[in-house]
Amino acid sequence: MKQNKPIAVFDSGIGGLTVYRELKRRLPGENFIYLGDTARVPYGTKSADTIVKYSLQNAEFLVSLGIKMLVVACNTASSYAMEALVDRFDMPIIGVIPSGVRRALKLTASGRVGVIATESTVQSGSYQKLLAESRPGVEVAARACPLFVPLVEEGWLDHSVTRQVSEVYLRPLAEAEIDTLILGCTHYPMLKQMIGEVLGPSVQLVDSAEALAMEIEGILTSLSLEHKGGDAEAPDAFYVTDSIPRFQRVAGIFLGRELANIRQVDLQFLPRQEA
């Protein structure tokens, strides 16, 4: 049955595990396949053409495993590759950026929305453009926070250094008097508590992973693609394109448990799959 096929999630690396975590929490009866392209991370330093190429390779591999939906957890891939992915594959393909934007616009009262993301995502203007198109007149303050990623992967979620970095990064957004902040990188939800403490209770945080999971639940229902039966029958599968031990270590930080079902794959030498 198509409904019982897994949902695939791909990211340029490890951060997409926050999306997987929220999906699993919200949809415990579904099976998932996660692919982290850890050999080629970060995507943000690559050209748009390369990001599209890598994203199509990721999708071709996942489609070859027999899936019912593709979730693009990577903000950079969502910025540059969604059109190419939708054109090639005949299945629901969901990107992380629109979900975060829709959630932020529901929450903001003042129309002043902040976005924090990697440098490449901020430079792409994807969040800024979609916010402006969705609600003309919205004021957007965007800030790149590149040091958040290594701090999260080091496990420094409640460290004095992380707090100092947060205060520097977030000060301009507080001065812009935003009332809503989009966490526009999949690593950033790991710092949600600290970011909330720095900005204070007047700023609502939009966890794009949570927003995406809520929307996917609704999409599955509307398309009658929910898993038929009780709990998912097979263990979730995890694929990486580089070191398994490093992925396993950082995954423990993200998920609070050890992953065992991890395999390494070389996407560059896989035959192209027909959509």
Dist. CA 232–CA 245, nearest whole Å: 26
Active-site residue among 74, 104, 173, 195? 74
Alpha helices in the chain (DSSP H): 17-26, 48-64, 75-80, 82-88, 96-107, 119-124, 126-134, 148-153, 160-175, 192-199, 208-222, 244-255
The token pair that represents 68 in the structure block:
């019912």
Type of residue found at 241: T
* 145 carries an active-site annotation: no
Cα–Cα distance between 220 and 231 in angstroms, integer? 16
SS3 22: helix
Joined tokens for residue 99: 């979900």
* Torsion angle defined by CA atoms of residues 240, 248, 166 and 116, in that order, rounded to the nearest 10 degrees: 30
**Angle in degrees, 0-180, between the axes of helices 244-255 and 17-26, rounded to the nearest 10:** 50
Select which of 19, 185, 199, 213 is catalytic.
185
Say how far apart CA 109 and CA 135 lie, in whole Å.
12
* Residue positions annotated with a catalytic role: 74, 185
